[in-house]
Chain A
Amino acid sequence: MGAVILMPALSPTMTEGKLARWLKKEGDAVKSGDVIAEIETDKATMEVEAVDEGTITAILVPEGTEGVQVNSAIAELDGGAGGTAATMQGITNKNPRENEKMIADAGTAQRADATVPASPRAPEMQPERDWGPMQAITVREALRDAMAAEMRRDRDVFLIGEEVAQYQGAYKISQGLLDEFGPKRVMDMPITEHGFTGMAVGAAFTGLKPIVEFMTFNFSMQAIDQIINSAAKTLYMSGGQLGCQIVFRGPNGAASRVAAQHSQCYASWYAHCPGLKVVAPWSAADAKGLLRAAIRDPNPVIVLENEIMYGQTFDCPTDEEFILPIGKAKVERQGTDVTIVAFSIMVGMAMQAADALAAQGISAEVINLRSLRPLDTATIAASVRKTNRLVTLEEGWPYAGIGAEVAMQIMETCFDHLDAPPVRVTGLDIPMPYAANLEKLALPRLEQVVDAAKRVTYK
């Protein structure tokens, strides 16, 4: 039985090539692995190896021929003994043109198409549940209590990071956890973010549920490949087989006077990536409820905390089961004239701005995003439909920031309800300066928020 040797594609982009040289002639026997010809592509000269054994009965394209199309017949092979020719036959029966069309069709699959389902949306709006009695605790205590509660609940949950165990946490978030859970579940790591993050992700692939503390999120950049390429993408790349239940947490954004390398907001970096969830608590209740939800969530979750908030006190539900849903914003203050959207430490500034605006007769509604991915667009849109005005507030840089995304989503969902262009208040588009006066100028200021609200309300 005869078979045809086809012009091979030697790179993903090759469509044709020059048959530079035949190393076998008609009548030659070839076996698997023998180099039979040399082909020149736009990149290089490549050798073509025989795939199966047999005798070359005819050379169809003489050497030196240019522009030989990929998948056209270049020689014929006699199968020799056994079923080797049939092996090739099985392949060559397929019409190569059909394959090319399939490949071309696949290339256009990215265009917008009515048959492609829309991106999943955040859950529909539901009223905030009443959790009963409250107690004043710090954000620091709330985070610790959240981890302790989940570690008691599930033996597969453990905490690793630099100084989390014996030192009790660089910012004392893990205070007391080593005593309660022992050195196996609260583990100090050497200063090797890349290595221990990858190690934690690998452990999560097997079903363990690590909490990785970054001393600050600035150091997560050492490990960002493992967070994005391994933790966030593997579920998809494995067709749903290999999930990664893991929490990456630590202080994010500017602290105070620690200069450019230690003062950066990673909200838009991580929120950009499908396969991750990203939350940013403000209050103690946010911190406790969102961190518990993050630890229980079967996906990788980034928890962006804020060092300045750690020592601040808020009322937090005492209910043992208290937890908050990821993907749900909170209306912190009702208003009618303008919607101010903020997250993390900036929620506090938004609340102050609302007070200042009230004194000037402007009623501001403040939305605490809590979750940056998924984003609760429904809650923001419902507010904007009422106030018809939007101000976004964040510490991070303006370019491709969270404010830009919020504003765009509002324009997509309720453009006709806007009575003024949305305004962003952000950190300045510069690395963070050290000098006290410059640092203050580089971060959002209360008067800027007030001014922005007045601008969109034309007051």
Chain B
Amino acid sequence: MAQAAETQQKRRGKAKEPPIGRADLMKAYRDMLLIRRFEEKAGQLYGMGLIGGFCHLYIGQEAVVVGMQMCLKPGDQVITSYRDHGHMLATGMEARGVMAELTGRIGGYSKGKGGSMHMFSREKGFYGGHGIVGAQVSLGAGLAFANWYREDGHVAVTYFGEGASNQGQVYESLNLAALFKLPCIFIIENNKYGMGTSVERASASRDLSQNGAAWGIPGEQVNGMDVIAVREAGERAVAHCRAGKGPYLLEMKTYRYRGHSMSDPAKYRTREEVQKMRETSDCIETARKMLLEQLGVTEAELKVIDDEVKAIVQDSADFAQASPEPPESELWTDVLVEAK
């Protein structure tokens, strides 16, 4: 992580000028805060039994998806695993629809039939939401394949964890993407633990950004706790893909504060480790500090954002409880598309 940060520092040079505009960082701060507050609320609703099954929170990792999203344009695609609420909010999907899906209601993005791990929005370029570890990587290569086939200049951002990075189909997909020069940005969100197994105990690779090296895929390690560093690396990756040079791999060094899922007691790491990350590397606190100290933003301006975010989240929670459960007739819909 330190090394990655250092590289970033070098790239930015020694200029005192902040490497990001005020409006951009305000937007990033707002989007990260929305994910954080949304996930906290989801955890709360889970605790009350309003959300069932699996619920994987994104708290701690917000800078990754928010920084990447700043590099994309409409029509680009995003696909990820089951830790997906943050990605959906970042692509602009409505908090109401996401929260109502978590509570299994008709107002949810999948009419209550998908749940936490399975939501989609073609309009926002979000292709799920996939529950089988690693499967989204091949699917993401397929999104990029479609862009290549149509020659439309779009890129597909394919997120997966460092745990998934050991799956066989990930390597098959890296090969396919490199072979056909698909515009695919592979993002390993290395939050250090695949459920309870640390990356050191699961992978013999010490630098996951080089996992595509056999196929000549350029890779970078990025401080995934720093939204500015993420955006900078993302811009390089997007430019590479849009230029028709094939896939790019970014290893985002990040951290999840909560357990793997709600029922994970997280005994595989110490409380001090988590606390240290929160205190020294939190992406929202870092952005907040920069806004206040370097970009001349006032506490009052941030309070407006905080209040707006809080209102959105509360509204989504209210909606998610008021929206009815899907009617029984929904059991039999959407199994097949009726042929025309």
Residue ranges of A at the interface with B (Cβ–Cβ < 8 Å): 6, 8-12, 14, 32-33, 35, 43-49, 51-52, 70-71, 82-83, 87-88, 90-91, 94, 96, 99-100, 102-103, 106, 109, 113, 115-117, 119-120, 158, 184, 189-190, 192, 194-208, 225-226, 229-230, 234-243, 245, 274-275, 277, 296-299, 326
- Whether, in the assembled complex, B194 has its beta carbon less than 8 Å from a beta carbon of chain A, the answer is no
A424 CA / B55 CA spacing, docked (Å)? 46
Q: Which B residue sits closest to A160, measured CB to CB?
A: B145
Query: Which of A12, A109, A117, A235 is B263 in contact with, Cβ under 8 Å?
Result: A12
Known contacts A91-B45, A297-B339; A202 and B139 CB within 8 A of each other: yes
> Quick one: which of B293-340 are within 8 Å of A by CB?
307, 310, 314, 317-318, 321, 325, 328-329, 331-337, 339-340
- Check A242–B48 contact: CB distance below 8 A: no
Residue B238 lies at the interface, judged by CB distance under 8 Å to chain A: no
User: Lowest 6 A-B CB distances belong to which pairs?
Assistant: A202-B142, A198-B138, A195-B172, A8-B47, A11-B263, A239-B111
Q: Give a binary string over B119-157; 1 marks a CB under 8 Å from any A CB, 0 the rest.
A: 111100001111110010111111101100100000000
Most buried by A among B110, B112, B318: B110
A87 x B314 contact (CB < 8 A):
yes
B169 at the interface (CB under 8 A from A): yes
Min CB distance A355 to B, Å, is 37
The reply on B7 being an interface residue by CB < 8 A is no
Residue from A8, A11, A195, A275 within 8 A of B175 (CB atoms): A195
B118 beta carbon closer than 8 Å to chain A: yes
Contact of B120 among A11, A100, A102, A242 (CB under 8 A): A242
Among B23-31, B36-44, B84-92, the stretch in contact with A:
B36-44
**A135 to chain B: closest CB distance in Å?**
28
Q: How far is the CB of B93 from chain A (nearest CB, A)?
A: 12
Are the C-beta atoms of A202 and B138 separated by less than 8 Å? yes
At the interface, yes or no: B255 with Cβ under 8 Å from chain A?
Answer: no
Let me know if B52 is at the binding interface, CB within 8 A. Answer: yes
For residue B73, give the distance in angstroms from its CB to the closest CB of chain A. 16
Q: Kindly provide the distance from the CB of A42 to the nearest chain B CB, expressed in whole angstroms.
A: 11
> Is the CB–CB distance between A236 and B265 below 8 Å?
no
Interchain nearest-CB distance for B64 vs A (Å): 19
The residue of chain B having its C-beta at the shortest distance from the C-beta of A87 within the complex is B314
Chain B, range 100-127, C-beta contacts under 8 Å to A? 104, 108-114, 118-122, 127
- Given the known interface contacts A115-B328, A236-B113, the answer about A192 and B149 at a Cβ–Cβ threshold of 8 Å is no
Q: Is B257 an interface residue (CB 8 A)?
A: yes
Query: Do residues B48 and A96 form an inter-chain contact, with CB atoms below 8 A?
Result: yes
B54 → chain A closest CB, angstroms:
8
Shortest Cβ distance from B55 into A: residue: A12
Residue with the greatest number of chain B CB neighbours at <10 A, chosen from A113, A158, A198: A198
User: Are the CB atoms of A198 and B317 closer together than 8 Å?
Assistant: no
- Are the C-beta atoms of B50 and A199 separated by less than 8 Å? no
Nearest neighbor of A200 in chain B, beta-carbon distance? B142
Bound-state CA distance A1–B325 (Å) is 31
